[in-house]
Amino acid sequence: QVKLVESGGGSAQAGGSLRLSCAASGYIRRQLCMGWFRQAPGKEREGVVVIDSSDEPTYADSVKGRFTVSQDNDKKILYLQMNSLKPEDTAMYYCAAEYCYRVGNRFGVREYSAWGQGTQVTVSS
């Protein structure tokens, strides 16, 4: 029922920046807990940052201090500002959402039922 669409991916040099967006639409009957995940080829999908029901973000150690998440509650848009990009950040980035009351481990991929199509981020050395 909830539809997510990511945008903003692209290519950047190491040390550069990109800004991703995720728009949520559809019939949303409860508060959504949302987050950003990423998956590189041959690797498991991993959480980048997740937001709890109090709108408090929790970042993966690998991106802490470099990435910043923000949310436009009125428009239901989630952003991810990525600075100081590293080649290790290269991955397909996904927006995820689930009703907060259904989420246990917020970094658990299987906790989320709604996913965007993904947007590719490529960082060159």
- pLDDT tens by residue, 15-46: 999 999 999 999 888 889 999 999 999 999 99
Average pLDDT, the chain: 95
Q: What is the token pair recorded at 15?
A: 């040390």
Tell me the C-alpha distance between 66 and 87, whole Å. 13
What is the DSSP secondary structure assignment for residue 30, as one 8-state letter?
A: S
Residue 64 has what pLDDT? 98
What average pLDDT score do residues 95-113 get? 94
Percent of the chain whose predicted confidence (pLDDT) is above 70: 98
Is residue 74 pLDDT above 80, yes or no? no
Q: Residue for token digits 């990423």?
A: 38
Amino acid identity of residue 86, one-letter, is K
Percent of the chain whose predicted confidence (pLDDT) is above 90: 88
Residue 21 has what pLDDT? 97
| Radius of gyration for the alpha carbons in the chain, expressed in angstroms and rounded | 14
